[in-house]
Chains A and B, each alone.
Chain A
Amino acid sequence: MKVGKRRKVNKQTRNRYIWAYIFILPQFIVFFGLSLYPIIMSYVYSFYDWTGIGPLNKFVGFSNYISVFKEEKFWNAFKNTFIYTAGFTMVSVSAALVLALILNNPKLKGIGIYRTIYFLPVVTTTAIIGIIMKNIFGNQGLINEALKIIGVIDQAVPWLINPVTAMIVLIIVGSWKEIGIIMIYWLTGLQMIPRELYEAAHIDGAGYWQTLRHITLPLLAPIGATIILLTTVSSMHVFDLVKTLTGGGPYYSTETLELYIYRFAFASDGISQVGYASTVGVILGLTVFIISLGLGWVVMRVNKSRADAGVQG
């Protein structure tokens, strides 16, 4: 990759450089022309006391930040976001791995149909899923009725009324929705493992489980770290599902940061505080940034140790 810096650039190479700049230009224009201004502005708002309408003229410095940190409900939402993220990442990443291991077998018939089935929730609008699931987990919903018929329970379980079960339901439904796409990531990783390695293992007389333990899983580690990073980052922004499934309840016990932000940015009663909401948005953004830096460091370490071990993907 290293190119001599002082090397004389001939005409053809210069031509290539010019074309490269031309290729990048449109993306550049679209990004700086359309995205930068809105992004910068939401940072600017966080330093203002602003309701969303009227002139932007009450500069308050860091006072929004100070009041955010003093707010009990903010920390509650912060905590809930972490609980959800941790639970969601664990459940969805591991379940998707199991699914991917099964669906990676090219000899399995109907593989396309299975993949489509398990991918289906991914393509559905989350808000609709929330409404459906709310009914399914309701007091007289499908789950309770089914459990009653089987005889596991005789009183309906208040799934969405109890703070602990409400969070569990949220994590399960959230995972169900996203497992399809995470499965695809894992399948990608599985396809990158050279077939010869399996064949060699087979010749050495290794069984399925041994191969899995000693070849498949270690080789999946690097992409696994990346998948965890992507999943964590996206799940910290969970919103639609919480809004439609639990509405943050019971009594704020499933309210996540995005929901908290929404409550202030678009207050249904009372007065919107776009300034305050933007502040929480910036804090969430920074948190995600720090977490991804940490996870990114882990990803690099895993990749490096793999390279050190001399295994090539």
Chain B
Amino acid sequence: MKKNLSLIVSLILLSALLLVGCQKEDGKTGETDKDIVTLDLWNNIAAGRTYFPILIEEFEKNNSGIKIKLNNVNVESSEAEYQAAISDNNLPDMFTTDAYTINEFVELGLVHELNDLFPEKVREEYTDGVFDVGNTMVGDDVYLFPIYKGGTYMMFYNKEVYEELGIETVPKTWEEVMTVGKEIYEKSGGASHGLLFGGQSGWLVNGVVQLMATEASPEAGYDYANGEYNFATVGHVETMEFFKNLLDNNALSPLSLENDSTVARELFTSGKAAFLLDGNWTGQLLHESEFENWGVVPLPTKDANGKQYGEFRLGSNDGMYVSKETKNWNEVKIFMEFLRENIYGEILKDGEPLIAKDSAAIKVELPFEEVNDIADIFLNMSIRVPNPIVLNPHTQEVRTEFLKNAPDESIGSVTMGYLTGQVKDLKGTLQKYTDDYNAEFTKAIDGNEHVTKEDYKFPNWVPYQSYTEENYKELNR
């Protein structure tokens, strides 16, 4: 009523300002109930907009003394919001973000340890590697409440296109992607293409090319044995040339060049392409948009028996932090204990299989059958790799320092530059990128008295194999 009134009266100049005052006080009176503790929760996980309200409602029903105030942060602007909030110690009690890494948060003393919530016995329910240092832990303490266990990329295919054009093979190798892609283009008279991906989403191209490059060059990206970065491997070059080849032969949709992953997915469901390269969350989103006629396979390999891998790594955005400044640690703990028991089932029910706990142990009804395929593809692809921070925590300082100064290039941007014809000398560009990157890396190491090059070398690393605590011990550092 007051709001309607204010709309009319606000045309009268100064009275509008007075009304703002009234309105603001209205908002305040609701909160001054003394027995109720209100916890702030900032969420920037898209799917969380669905499951957090459900969980909060259930929690508040059983805990009448605690209220959770959910604030969904816009993904596009979250960096600015967190910068401002951090700059004067105004972080909410609990928050999810990808703006900063766990190490930065801990270094600045902004987040609360969560050891009480994750005793040894509880940790056993989680997937191996979730509680590795650098994932949810720094040193001996847990700081990130794990919700997911990272992610990976895969290839979705549109069964409608398949049926319509009478095509049988779902491609596993690069060669098959090419043949099937050409076939689709010809049979559809140019209306559909084979492959599609959201090329404007830099992180997507980056991730996909990196994964595909590890087949020919397991040292692609970071060479764990020598402790150096390498973006100019045969694997990288071949992968980029493969995409270029697809594009030149109409097996890759030109729509890939100008759209991001959100648009690409819609174009895929409308039949503009038969295959879509995208992340694990795509399954749930396809299901949500009521498109059910799809299947999923791993990224294509060059050889039929080829193997790719990605690092098993949780990012900041795979979990939730608690602010060190929280005044209601006990209430936060009660809520988190509740989440620990209930959040994973809720997410799985939604169709997202990559929860931090072992999904097999959670009995819920899956919304669609491909959930298990996605989980399998992830587990086959993601392995634990050496992390220098485990043996020398100071390497974190080096990392922060050199990431700041590293060249603002990426595999993804070079790939797109090559596809659009901007990058002519592919090998040269990648080599320069690698050299610049390593130069900054070396400079940062030299600038830190606690770190040497040796901290980054893991001679006992075997490609495609999980690197465990035993392997760290073998090194004898």
Interface residues of A (CB under 8 A from B): 49, 51-54, 67, 73, 134, 138-140, 156, 158, 160-163, 247, 249-253, 263-264, 266-274
Which 8 A-B pairs have CB atoms at the shortest separation, nearest pair first? Answer: A251-B417, A251-B422, A250-B420, A266-B79, A53-B86, A52-B83, A161-B257, A54-B108
Known: A161-B254, A271-B404. A251 touches B423 (CB 8 A): yes
Q: By DSSP majority rule, is chain B's interface helix, strand, loop, or mixed? A: helix
Query: Shortest distance in angstroms between A236's beta carbon and chain B's nearest beta carbon?
Result: 22
- Provide the residues of chain B in CB contact with A251, threshold 8 Å: 413, 416-417, 420, 422-423
The answer, yes or no, to whether B291 is at the interface (CB within 8 Å) is no
Q: Can you add 14 more A-B contacts, CB < 8 Å, to A161-B257, A266-B80?
A: A51-B404, A53-B86, A53-B100, A134-B258, A161-B254, A162-B420, A251-B417, A251-B420, A263-B408, A264-B408, A270-B403, A271-B403, A271-B404, A274-B83
Closest to A141 in B: B258
A253 touches B422 (CB 8 A): yes
Asked whether any CB of chain A lies closer than 8 Å to the CB of B255, the reply is yes
Return the chain A residue nearest B412 by Cβ.
Answer: A269
Judge whether B400 is part of the interface by a CB distance below 8 angstroms.
Answer: yes
Inter-subunit contact A73/B408 (CB<8 Å): yes
Query: With A53-B87, A250-B420, A272-B83 as given contacts, are A160 and B100 in contact (CB-CB < 8 Å)?
Result: no
Give the size of the chain B interface in residues (CB under 8 angstroms).
30
Provide the residues of chain B in CB contact with A263, threshold 8 Å: 408
> Mask for B190-213, Cβ within 8 A of A = 1, else 0?
000000000010110000000000
Q: How far is the CB of A267 from chain B (nearest CB, A)?
A: 7
Cα-based distance from A272 to B84 in the complex (angstroms): 13
How many residue-residue contacts, CB under 8 A, span A and B? 76
Closest to A73 in B: B408
A267→B405 CA distance, assembly (Å): 13
Bound CA–CA A266/B78 (angstroms): 9
- Given the complex, which residues of B lie within 8 Å of A264, measured CB to CB? 408
Interface residues of A, dominant DSSP? loop
- Whether B108 and A156, one on each chain, are in contact in the complex, defined by CB atoms closer than 8 angstroms, is no
Q: Give, as a whole number of angstroms, the nearest-CB distance from B51 to chain A.
A: 24
Closest to A134 in B: B258
Query: Would B422 and A268 count as touching, CB distance under 8 A?
Result: no
Question: In the assembled complex, how far is the CB of residue B188 from the closest CB belonging to chain A, in whole angstroms?
Answer: 14
Contacts of B400 in A (CB 8 A): 51, 271
Most chain B beta-carbon neighbours within 10 Å: one of A263, A272, A274? A272
Question: Could you name 12 residue pairs across A and B whose Cβ atoms are closer than 8 Å?
Answer: A51-B400, A51-B404, A53-B83, A53-B108, A138-B258, A158-B254, A161-B420, A162-B420, A249-B416, A250-B257, A251-B423, A270-B404
Find the B residue at minimum CB distance from A264.
B408
Contact B417 A250 (CB under 8 A): yes
Chain A residues lying within 8 Å of B203, measured Cβ to Cβ, are: 268-269
The answer for the CA separation of A280 and B389 in the assembled complex, in Å, is 33
Enumerate chain B residues within 8 angstroms of A53, measured Cβ to Cβ: 82-83, 86-87, 100, 104, 108, 110
A122 to B255, CA, bound (A): 30
A49 surroundings in chain B (CB, below 8 A):
404
**Measured between alpha carbons, how far is A268 from B110 in the docked complex, in Å?**
20
